[in-house]
Amino acid sequence: MRLILTLLFATALLAQAASTQVTETDLEALAEKKVIESPDYWRANATETGKCDGEKVASLLIKVAGLLKPVATLDEALEVLVKHRVLSSPDYWKKTALPGGTCVGKNVAIVLSRGAAQLPIDPPKSVTAKPLEATAFAQLRESYDVVIAGAGTGGVGAAVQAARMGASVLLLEETDWIGGQAMAAAVTSMDEGGTLVRERGLYRELCGLITAHYQPLGVNHLTAYWYSHVGVEPRVGRHLLLQMLSDARGNGVLDLALLSRVSAVSKEGNKVTGVDITSGGSTRHITCRMLIDATEWGDVIPLTGARYRVGNCTSDAIDLKRRVQDNTWTAVVKQYPQGVPDELLIKDKPPGYTDKVQTAFAKSLGDGEKVDAKLKPWTWGTFIGYRGMPDSARPADNSAITRTHLNYNNDYVSSIAEIEDLETRRATNRAMQLKTLHLLYFIQNTLGKKDWSVANDEGYDTPYRRAEVEAWIKERAELAPYRAILNHFSIMPYTRESRRIMGLHTLSSGEIERVHGKPIQFANTVSIGDYAIDLHGSMSKPYLEMDLDREADIPHKFGEHGVGPFAIPFECFIPEKIDGFLPAEKNLSQSRMANGATRLQPHTMNMGQAVGAIAAIAVKEGIAPRAVDPKKVQRILLEEGATLTIGPVKARRGTEEWRKLQMEVLSKGAEIRTPADR
């Protein structure tokens, strides 16, 4: 079932833009970059019922292709555009995009929209910043305005925004790698529901930094999902996040403490006043005015005493055996043109590798270079293109995927126990790594890809990672021959689901429905998501929350309930009763099904940005987050380039008119009645 859903997911990603309508933002951006002379003609003709002059379209195709590679003729342009998945086939355009020809307007709108997605984002000012260096545990201050646990995309987003607003910030990371699911877990094939997400908030800034890194190398970074989504090498992504943090620090206070975690929370009544931070064998107490949980599992929530949901249970009635989304321990792999180093070749079957394991892999993955997500099993070409990464070490080989990560057919069934019990989590983490080791053995020995292995240049073989591997080998000596390979696996697992606070509002699947209804534009919207509801495993009634969602909302294939913008309101980030505490990852107040759409890297970064703004305002005004005026949060986020309306407004992005029109839309949005109002 998981394979079927994944194949449907992949097919949907290739086809989803077929319903894309070109937006005013797309047209303005294309005009600015001189891909089109004026938006007027395309605004009038690239419509559902319009028709476009074939000669004009031919010129458009050549210019769009030129964003990817210099071309001189239509045939050259079509070859480039098909290769980069801007077009699915050249046939239609060869017949219509010519003098005297006519192209259907809605097809041209797709080209314009996809063309706009190829436009490089201008480098942000943080591009010149030196990466932030970690602060020694002993050098941390006694007090900070904001303490953030977890330096994933949500934590970084919160830290950057709060620091830019003048708050003193301490960002904690329990490993020695920042970036969470995106960088430390190596899921750098950015899960964008649509290309417009690249225009929003801090994720736009990250995309600008990614472009600025790869463009001078002549390397295309739109490699993920068969050359359609942003990709980045984990070590590069970590470097860029450290630049963002450093730039946000400026002349203020933003300290980063690695190998550090919140081990206890102090409160006065229902208000958080400080935390105990543990690093190695040492613990320090630090006072704070705001505490933010941006951990991958929502590990700080129980320490605060806040009520929460986990799986389809509530914190007062937890069943450890209930299912949650499957998780994955990924590994970055690359092609070694001069041959794989001997220590990275798996010559003997890893422990637990059986005929049953091999048969399961063979059902989902085979040899072959043809890229076609509809074929079963997937070919090698489809497989490496699915999570394809740019490869800055091989700019001359930019026309092929030479680096990717293993994040297909190695999902691992997970339960609430992995979230709630650290020993169970540790055992499951190891079982996930073993499954990925099995997959790599299959790739090298059954598929015969002896020129591929785990990448030895991502920098994952850190002291933290090596210590984790050594502790495992100490308990299972038979893993010693695989030490060199395991040392280069990702730092942490790709965790898709965590604890979720019970907040003033719980976002549900019905509120983000985009096919059988319209998503709700909340008056207090502070972030926008756009991904489909995507639950890896446990996507059936017994494991869902039927008090929050409806059985009819359960998707049976990727995108069945829509892809595209939906709103996330302020109230989802405010706990029922605990003050001075906010969530900034997958742990906001939402149903399990809604979590399937909000859990992705672009969304968590921008949700973290919203939380950082809430925390900074609360600190500045000396009030609890629940007392913060959402309109103030919205105005700050709009100034920072965040988009808060589901639909586009008729003004150029970033202008005062653009912000004004969004505030007008928000003023007419749906109000939420919080428990205090009832």
Tens-digit pLDDT profile for residues 19-35: 345 667 678 778 888 89
For residue 24, the number of C-alpha atoms closer than 13 Å in the C-beta half-sphere is 8
What ranges make up the beta strands (E) of 247-331?
254-258, 261-268, 271-279, 282-293, 308-310, 313-314, 323-327
Confidence check: pLDDT of 380 > 70:
yes
209 in a structural domain:
no
Residue 624: which pLDDT band, with cuts at 50, 70 and 90? Answer: very high
How many Cβ atoms sit within 10 Å of the Cβ of residue 37? 12
Position 320 in a domain: no
Does residue 268 sit within a domain?
no
For the record, the structure tokens of 452 come out as 């591929």
Residue percentage of the chain with pLDDT more than 90: 79
Percent of the chain predicted with pLDDT > 70: 95
Q: What is the pLDDT of residues 307-341, one digit of tens each?
A: 999 999 999 999 999 999 999 999 999 999 999 99
Write the CB contacts of 65 (distance below 8 Å, at least 6 apart in sequence): 71, 76, 77, 78, 80, 81, 86
Are 230 and 190 contacting, i.e. CB atoms less than 8 angstroms apart? yes
The pLDDT of residue 203 is 94
- Spatial neighbors of 317 by CB under 8 A, at least 6 apart, are none
Question: How, if at all, do strands 143-149 and 282-293 pair?
Answer: parallel
pLDDT digits (tens, 9 = 90+) for 577-623: 999 999 999 999 999 999 999 999 999 999 999 999 999 999 999 99
How does DSSP assign 20-74, residue by residue?
A: ----HHHHHHHHHTTSSS-HHHHHHHSSSS-EEEHHHHHHHHHHHHHTTS---SH
User: Does the residue 672 lie in any domain?
Assistant: no
CA torsion sign for 161, 166, 172, 175 is: positive
Look at residue 200 in the predicted model and tell me its pLDDT: 87
The residue type at 623 = I
What integer best gives the mean pLDDT of the chain? 92
Q: What is the pLDDT of residue 534?
A: 92
Task: Measure the CA–CA gap between 249 and 132, rounded to whole angstroms.
Answer: 8
Task: Report angle CA 237, 241, 246 to the nearest 5 degrees.
Answer: 145
The last residue of one of the domains, among 117, 135, 163, is: 117
Confidence of residue 87 (pLDDT cuts 50, 70, 90): confident
- Number of helices (H) and strands (E), helices first, in the chain? 23, 19
pLDDT of residue 559: 83
Q: Is the pLDDT of residue 8 over 90?
A: no
Contact, 49 vs 103, CB < 8 A?
A: no
CA separation, residue 379 to residues 372, 383, 386, 412, 616 (Å):
8, 6, 11, 22, 49
Q: Which helix (H) or strand (E) holds 614?
A: helix 601-621
Whats the size of the chain, residue-wise?
Answer: 678
One-letter amino acid at 6 equals T
CB 615 within 8 A of CB 635: no
Query: Tens digit of pLDDT for each residue in 99-122?
Result: 999 999 999 998 998 788 777 777
pLDDT value of residue 646: 93
Structure token pair of residue 200: 């929003």
Question: Which pLDDT value is given to residue 168?
Answer: 98
- Note whether 651 and 657 are within 8 A (CB): yes
Q: Is position 281 within any domain?
A: no
More confident residue, 631 or 2: 631
Tell me if 198 sits within 8 A of 192, measured CB to CB. Answer: yes
The residue among 48 and 282 whose pLDDT is bigger is 282
- Residue 78's domain comprises 18-117
Q: Domain boundary residue among 464, 486, 508?
A: 486
Q: Phi and psi at residue 346, in whole multiples of 5°?
A: -95, 105
Q: Which of 486, 503, 537 is the last residue of a domain?
A: 486
Of the CA atoms within 13 Å of residue 445, those in its CB half-sphere come to: 16
Average pLDDT rounded to a whole number, residues 268-275: 98
More confident of the two residues 151 and 674? 151
pLDDT at 82: 85
Q: What pLDDT does 558 receive?
A: 84
State the burial class of residue 476 (Cβ atoms within 10 Å of its Cβ: 0-12, 13-18, 19+): exposed
Residue 21 phi/psi, 5-degree rounding, is: -105, 135
The answer, yes or no, to whether residue 287 has pLDDT greater than 90, is: yes
pLDDT in tens, 395-454: 766 678 999 999 999 999 999 999 999 999 999 999 999 999 999 999 999 999 999 999
Q: Give the model confidence (pLDDT) of 440-498 as tens digits.
A: 999 999 999 999 999 999 999 999 999 999 999 999 999 999 999 999 999 999 999 99
- Give the model's pLDDT for residue 2: 39
pLDDT at 11: 37
Q: Which residues contact 13 (CB under 8 A, 6 or more apart)?
A: 225, 226, 228, 229, 373, 558
pLDDT of residue 195: 65
Q: Is pLDDT above 60 for 9?
A: no
Beta strand 169-173 with 254-258: parallel, antiparallel or unpaired? parallel
Per-residue pLDDT tens over the stretch 203-239: 999 999 999 999 889 888 989 998 888 999 999 999 9
pLDDT at 349 over 90: yes
Q: Which residues pair with 405 in a beta bridge?
A: 332
Q: How far apart are CA 596 and CA 592, in angstroms?
A: 7
- pLDDT tens for 115-164 read 887 777 778 999 999 999 999 999 999 999 999 999 999 999 999 999 99
What pLDDT was estimated at residue 13? Answer: 39
Does the N-terminal peptide bond of residue 377 adopt cis geometry, omega within 30 degrees of 0?
yes
Q: Residue 328: beta bridge partners? A: 494
Domain contains 671: no
- Virtual torsion, Cα 30, 34, 37, 43, nearest 10 deg: 0
- In eight-state DSSP terms, residue 352 is T
* pLDDT for 80: 87
Q: Find the farthest-apart pair of alpha carbons in the chain and give their distance in angstroms, rounded.
A: 77
By the 8 A CB rule, do 482 and 436 touch? no
Q: Is residue 595 part of a domain?
A: no
CA 318 to CA 416: how far, in whole Å? 8
pLDDT value of residue 5: 39
Q: Helix, strand, or coil here: 285?
A: strand
Structural domains counted in the chain:
2
In a domain, 85, yes or no: yes
Give residue 121's pLDDT. Answer: 74
Q: Determine contact, residues 391/219, Cβ cutoff 8 Å.
A: yes
The C-alpha angle with vertex 231 and arms to 80 and 224, in degrees rounded to 5, equals 55
Query: Among candidates 114, 104, 47, which has minimal Cα distance to 82?
Result: 114
Tell me, what's the pLDDT at 25?
A: 67
